[in-house]
Structures are given as C-alpha cells and as structure tokens.
Amino acid sequence: MEKDRLDPWGTSSVKNYERLQSEFGIAPAAPLLKRFKKPSTHLSRGIDFGQRDLGVVLDAIDNSKPYAVMSGIKPDGAFHLGNKMTADDMVYFQSLSKKARVYYSIADVEAYADNGIPFTESSKIAVRNVADILALGLDPDRAVVYKQSEEMRVMRLSTIFSRGVTNNMLKAIYGERQIGLYMSALIQAGDILMPQLPEFGGPKPVLVPVGADQDPHIRLSRDLAVRYRSDFGFVPPSAIYHRLELALTGGYKMSKRSPESGFTLDDTPAEAAKRVRSAFTGGRDTVEEQRRLGGRADICPVYDLYRFHFARDDEHVELVYNECTNGIRLCGECKQEAIGLVKAFLEEHHKKRDSLMNDARELMSKSRDYLASTGKQ
Amino acid sequence: MEKDRLDPWGTSSVKNYERLQSEFGIAPAAPLLKRFKKPSTHLSRGIDFGQRDLGVVLDAIDNSKPYAVMSGIKPDGAFHLGNKMTADDMVYFQSLSKKARVYYSIADVEAYADNGIPFTESSKIAVRNVADILALGLDPDRAVVYKQSEEMRVMRLSTIFSRGVTNNMLKAIYGERQIGLYMSALIQAGDILMPQLPEFGGPKPVLVPVGADQDPHIRLSRDLAVRYRSDFGFVPPSAIYHRLELALTGGYKMSKRSPESGFTLDDTPAEAAKRVRSAFTGGRDTVEEQRRLGGRADICPVYDLYRFHFARDDEHVELVYNECTNGIRLCGECKQEAIGLVKAFLEEHHKKRDSLMNDARELMSKSRDYLASTGKQ
C-alpha cells in the first residue's frame, strides 16, 4: 500500500486523511466541533479534518485572551481556490473573538527568488490578493499585512533559527532538499512565530490554517518554538488542516503550475464556466450505468466545488451528494448547476473586490505604519 | 605533507602562503606593488600577500571611478588585533581615492545567533568598534555603517542567493556544514554584493580585505556575482588577503575564543604588557644557543607584533628581524621594546577612541538616515 507523502513543495497525494493522525500526529478536528457555537462550513463539512493544539486557541476564545491567526501568500499571480480555502478559515477564526488578530505575510522575496517576479510587480499583485481577502470577509481593523521584503523581524528570526536546527532535523522533516528550500522553510517559521514577539504583545496562541501538505512547516515551527522557548517564551503554534481539493483535471491537488486544474478569482465567469464544463467527474461511462450504480462523488472535483466553496448551505451539499451517488443527478446537469453558482460567486466577488482595492492599499499602508511604530523593526 | 585548510569558522593553519596560489587561485600581491604610489605597510612588508582582481580596483583608482571597500565585524566583544589588521587595510584603501566608499557591516544577527548577545548589548559594542576604526583613521564622510538586523537588502539578497546555490556548490566550497553556517555564508555574500545595487550607484569594483582563512566567502561571492550577473550586473568582488598573525601562545591563529592568544584594543596597557611578557617566542633554549644560532623570527608572535602592527617603520621591522636572527637581540629585551610600543599605541588609541565615541554614534545615525533615504530599503 502506497504511503501518504506530505510535501509542501510537490504534489502531495493524501488519500487517507485518517492515517495522517497515526503517522504524523495530526489530531482529528471532529471531537472539538462541540466547542464551536456555529462551526464554519469547513468544519461542519469535514473539510477541516485535522488540527494540532486547536484547543489552546479555543481556550483563548472562551477566555477572551488574545490570539493570532497567521497565514500568507506568494504574490505570483491571481488568488486561486486553494488560497480561498485558507482565507475562508482565516476570516472565520478572526470572527470568533474580538481578541483575534490576523497576520498575513506577502512572500514577495520568494516570488522573486522562485519566479523572478520583481518587487514592483509583486507589490501590485499583493494589493489585489489583499482585496480578495477583504472581499471574502476579513476585518481590516484586526489585521496586519506585511511584505517579507520589508519585515526584518521575520528574517532575523529565520537567521536565529538557522543556528538552532541541524541538517538532520531538516532532513527528518523535509527529506534531502536544496538549501534554498530549507531557507524558505525557516523564513516561514519566522512568519509563524513573529506574532509572539514582545512588540506584538508577547507569547500567545497562533493558529495557522493550512492544507494537509503544509504540515512539515507546522512541525518545524513547533519544534523551533520548543527549542527557543527559554529565549522567547513561545507557545507552540496551533494548526487547522483542510483537505486538498481535487483538481478539475482529476488527481489530488490543484496547482498553480497547471492552471487548468482549477480556476482563479481573477478568471471571468465565462472562463471559469469553461473549466468546469470540461472538468473530470466521478460519472460513469454511460447514463444507464450512472442511473444504476450512481456517480462517484468522492473522486469528483465538481462535487468538491459544491462542498468546498459554492453550495448554498450544508443541506445543499448533502442533496448533491445523495442525488449523485443514487443516480438521480447526472454530470451534465450537475455541472450546469455548479457553473451557475460559480458564475454568481465570481460576479459578486469581482464587484466586491473592485470596490475594495483602495481599502486593500489602505490596510497595507496602515500595517506598514503600525509595524514601523513598534520600534523594534 | 599536511594540506593547508581554509576554514573561515575554524582555526585555519596556513603554513605555505605561496601554495594558496596554486591550490585556491589566490594571486600574489607583489607584482602589483609597483602600481601603488605609497604602498601600505601591509603591502610593503608582505603581510598582504595575495589578491583576487585587485587590478580592477587599481584601475578604478587610476581612472577616478567609484569603488567600494567592504568589511564587517561581529559585535561580540572588543576589537582585537585581527580586526585591526582588516581595519588598517580598509582605511588605507579608502585613502587612495576620493571615489572610494567604505561599507561596514555590523553582524549583530550573528552575534545574537552564535553568542546569545542581545541587540541592545551588541548595539553598544558596535559603537565602540566603530570608534576603534575611526581612531585607526577611517574617514566617516565616505563610510556607511549598517547593522545586519536593520538592513533588509542584505537579507533579501541572501534569500535570493539561497535559491541560486546548490548544496553541492556549498559543500565544494565549505565542506559539509550545518545549515546555520551556510546561511551565515549567504548573508556575508549579501553584505559583499550589496554595494553594487542600483541605489548605491550600481555595479562597481568592491574590495574585501580579509584574512587568508576567509577566502571561501570570497569564492562564494564571486560565484554568485557571476550567477546573478544578468539580473544585477555584478562585477565579481575583489579581495586582498593578509597573513594570519601568530598567536601569543604559539600556533597559527589568534582567536577570540582564547583571549590569551592576543590582546584587544580594550585591554589596558598593563594587561597587554602582561600578555606580551608571557608570550611564546622563537627564542632558543639557552642564551648561548641563541647567540650562536640566532632566534627564529619566522615562528615568533612577538616579531609579528612588530611586523604587523607596532614597528615605527619598515626599517625598524628589518632591524628587529636581523638582530633577532643574528643572535644580537635576545627575547627579554625584544619583548621589553615591544611592550613599550604596545603601551604607547594603546594609550594613544584609547585617548583617540574616547574622543571619537560621539563621532561613532553620529556616523551610525547618519548612515541609517542615508540607507533609509535610498528608498529601496
């Protein structure tokens, strides 16, 4: 039996989420569901399947203590569905308490180093990415956005951490890699642990919403938190893990590198519709077969569009699943309905985002002023 | 026969400087001596024995073109004799043209990461270190001093470089090392190449005065300059190499880690005198033998004090050498004379430095304003 690999830089195949628990120590999210007044759709639909130390964050929420929600984006292009997943989690966990603050890292140094995108260019992309998150519901009053290329603290932490890790420790977590990827991992650890520095109020729970394939970064950050606890008092960061969305072309992970595997929030409704129309499905070879055996929603990226993003509510997801697997719903009509939902979402989203471009610029400049004012920059 | 090792992080043993030429491609400095109107004592005494592309810098001097002189210090304590050697070279090469500008990097991130020195502490040490260089003759009007912890450009370059090197390339230059040392090497490459960024006037010759043991950093920087030439137009940096001073305790390299191997510019004249008095020498077992065979100046750290730092002039060095090797001068009297010179130097230096502490602070704050004003920080 093939082993699951967790590879933040490759195309991870995760076929058995339950096994991640025993192999990597990711705890199931379900037992904690009862602690949420109104679970997010990601939680209620089992998309957020796993967690590490989520209880620590829930305690902070219950006791009105400060906590951080940390994530980031590489500004190398348009916001895609995977970015939306993480953003939805960020927005949800920010909404749970007035004491929550979002830290959002724009990895422009990586965009330059990996993709040759100049800083002037990534800076423009970043504004658009931030406008996307605002359109998805981020509260700008409790959010700090920063560029890696301007945040000395992240670099400083990563340098410090580079002395505290051994090559063996990195190999154990990531396998044998080139130094550039190790360095990138240490910079991400700097991003994740920065919200606990004294100028941001000191040690506190930090929740990082990630895809299952990003777990190595979480493990590294948690190891480093423990290793540097006596210096910084770090609380090991918490994580919530979402499933990886099936690619529209079939297979296990949407990827920026193959645009046809998904669509972006920059695509026109017509473009996105085209992608969905030609998507791989879990349908059978013939109508007769599908009526008799039912469709295979579990391997269907179109079903994932409903489940992960565009269904009206949980009941709608259930309806689609049942109709599909019972042979009531055929792929053509199912795609047609999905296309309608996608188009409606994109039209609405584009409108919202366009009206929020200035707010995005304002959030970035306000964040910049705030970060400079902490004095330890 | 034991091979020479060049190890920037260890105790390099360099017994045969001529061989560095054939093994590592360091060219001899002597053939270029005729291009200097007034060679420094390091050059005339063969202390600066080797170079890479020094001609490029001399061309810039001859043609009144801009060039940079780049060096740095880890602010983990007092300025020692090795730091003075590098500083003397910096001051000399700055003095050769009005178009020269010194870039001096305070490696406070490394002082923190390696030695646990907090930034508030290293900041104080740095002011004192800068005052030491000013006392040694640095012209503050053509010098930029910066802290690693504040200079985003260095970090950005090192991140970019981390993607352009392979583990094999680093192994070939440094041997198998922990990632922290590799990262430190990439940060130093960032320091060395930063003066060629557009905001500092773009590509230009950069001279790095270093001890022979630091050559791996020069090779890495030169490799990276070539690798990133199409992006940045980098000119491969030049270097001038000085011999390693013999330790007062005998052996091949003074080291901060064993204070008795040298003394610092913070030591009192009495403390330094004590170190010199108990120093290892190249003397013979008995007076009779020394009169008959002569002393061994070539393995004598006391002779090195004359030659590297404290002799009145070149003739004085020659006199000491001849008297020693001809059995005219005995170790006791030789030490006594050296102690006199060391004491006089330290008294004078302390006076100068104390009067320059404010100038040091001013240079650092002026540099900071300047660096911020370049706008690409």
Q: Give the gap in angstroms from C-alpha A9 to the nearest C-alpha of chain B.
A: 14
**pLDDT of res. B375:** 64
**pLDDT of res. B284:** 96
| Mean pLDDT within A240-250 | 90
Nearest residue to A209 via CA among A326, A72, A341:
A72
Nearest residue to B204 via CA among B348, B61, B372:
B61
**pLDDT of res. A9:** 62
Q: Among residues of chain B, what percentage have pLDDT more than 70?
A: 93
Tell whether B149 is within 8 A of chain A (Cβ). Answer: yes
Burial environment of residue B18 by CB neighbours within 10 A (0 to 12, 13 to 18, 19 or more): exposed
The band of A114, judged by pLDDT with boundaries at 50, 70 and 90, is confident
If you measure CA to CA, which chain B residue comes closest to A375?
A: B150
**pLDDT of res. A24:** 76
Q: Is B179 in contact with A179 (Cβ distance < 8 A)?
A: yes
| pLDDT above 90 (res B16) | no
Nearest residue to A240 via CA among A269, A208, A217:
A208
The band of B149, judged by pLDDT with boundaries at 50, 70 and 90, is confident
How does DSSP classify residue A229? H
The DSSP element (H or E) to which A375 belongs, if any, is none
pLDDT top residue among B15 and A316 = A316
Tell whether B172 is within 8 A of chain A (Cβ). Answer: no
- Mean pLDDT (chain B) is 91
Please give the Cα distance from B317 to B307 (Å, whole number): 6
The ipTM is 0.81
**pLDDT of res. A324:** 95
| pLDDT above 90 (res B109) | no
Q: What is the CA radius of gyration of chain A?
A: 21
SS3 sequence of chain B: CCCCCCCCCCCCCCCCHHHHHHHHCCEECHHHHHHCCCCCHHHHCCCEEEEECHHHHHHHHHCCCCEEEEEEECCCCCCEHHHHHHHHHHHHHHHCCCCEEEEEEECHHHHHHHHCCCHHHHHHHHHHHHHHHHHCCCCHHHEEEEEHHHCHHHHHHHHHHHHHCCHHHHHHHHCCCCHHHHHHHHHHHHHHHHHHCHHHCCCCCEEEEEEHHHHHHHHHHHHHHHHCHHHHCCCCCEEEEECCCCCCCCCCCCECCEHHHCCECCCCHHHHHHHHHCCCCCCCCCHHHHHHHCCCHHHCHHHHHHHHHHCCCHHHHHHHHHHHHCCCCCHHHHHHHHHHHHHHHHHHHHHHHHHHHHHHHHHHHHHHHHHHHCCCC
**pLDDT of res. B1:** 39
**pLDDT of res. B24:** 76
pLDDT top residue among B29 and A258 = B29
**Mutation choice for A interface testing from B163, B177, B228 by most A CBs within 10 A:** B163
Q: Among residues of chain A, what percentage have pLDDT more than 70?
A: 93
Contact (CB, 8 A) for A237 and A54: no
**pLDDT of res. A377:** 44
Query: Tens digit of pLDDT for each residue in B219-247?
Result: 999 999 999 999 999 999 999 999 888 99
| Mean pLDDT within A64-78 | 95
**pLDDT of res. A42:** 95
Nearest to A113 among B109, B160, B179 (CB): B160
| pLDDT above 90 (res A97) | yes
Give residue B318's Cα distance to chain centre: 24
| Mean pLDDT within A215-237 | 96
Question: Which segment of A120-134, A352-366, B111-125, B182-196 scores lowest on mean pLDDT?
Answer: B111-125
Please give the Cα distance from B91 to B352 (Å, whole number): 16
Tell whether A90 is within 8 A of chain B (Cβ). Answer: no
| pLDDT above 80 (res A7) | no
**pLDDT of res. A258:** 74
> Phi and psi dihedrals of B143, rounded to 5?
-140, 140
Contacting A residues, span 110-129, partner chain B, CB-CB under 8 Å: 110, 112-114
Tell whether A180 is within 8 A of chain B (Cβ). Answer: yes
Q: Is A162 in contact with B183 (Cβ distance < 8 A)?
A: yes
Contacts of A365 (CB under 8 A, 6+ apart): none
Q: Among residues of chain A, what percentage have pLDDT more than 90?
A: 76
**pLDDT of res. B21:** 72
pLDDT top residue among B33 and B24 = B33
Question: Which segment of A181-195, B47-61, B110-124, B347-361 scores lowest on mean pLDDT?
Answer: B110-124
pLDDT top residue among B321 and B259 = B321
Contacting A residues, span 186-225, partner chain B, CB-CB under 8 Å: 186-187
Q: Is B152 in contact with A155 (Cβ distance < 8 A)?
A: yes
pLDDT top residue among A25 and B92 = B92
| pLDDT above 90 (res B262) | no
